[in-house]
Amino acid sequence: LGEHNTDHYGMLSFYGINPELEPTCRTYRLQSGDVLFTCSDGLVEARTHDRSELGTDSVVKALKRTARPETVSAEMERLWSDFRAGYHQTDDLSLLTVWMS
């Protein structure tokens, strides 16, 4: 985060209740200081009154701007809330941040 390398692994399925979902086993080698962030589609598919979508690119850009790993989830929740500007969402929001100390 911040000055660190940020790798984007695409839309991986960590969450979800889709019965057609075929889980994929992946191995990650995390080192001290690495951050793993995942979220439900409620973040990337958040919408405004004019139906604009937040999108993956905006989330990745915001993650790169986040300076402290311990604030990632709070920053993403703030991004979600600010983007919606009060527009009611029917989808839930799930965030998970793992920080390797």
- Nearest 5°: the CA angle 13, 96, 22 is 15
Domain extents in the chain: 41-99
Question: Could you give phi then psi for residue 95, rounded to 5 degrees?
Answer: -130, 140
Residue, of 17 and 24, whose pLDDT is higher? 24
Question: Cβ contacts of residue 56 below 8 Å, gap of 6+?
Answer: 8, 11, 44
pTM equals 0.73
Region label for 90, one of left (φ > 0), alpha (ψ between -120 and 50) or beta (otherwise):
alpha
Q: 4-16, pLDDT tens digit by residue?
A: 555 555 555 555 5
Q: 29-88, pLDDT tens digit by residue?
A: 889 988 889 898 899 999 999 999 999 999 999 999 987 888 999 999 999 999 999 888
- 10 Å Cβ neighbour count for 28? 9
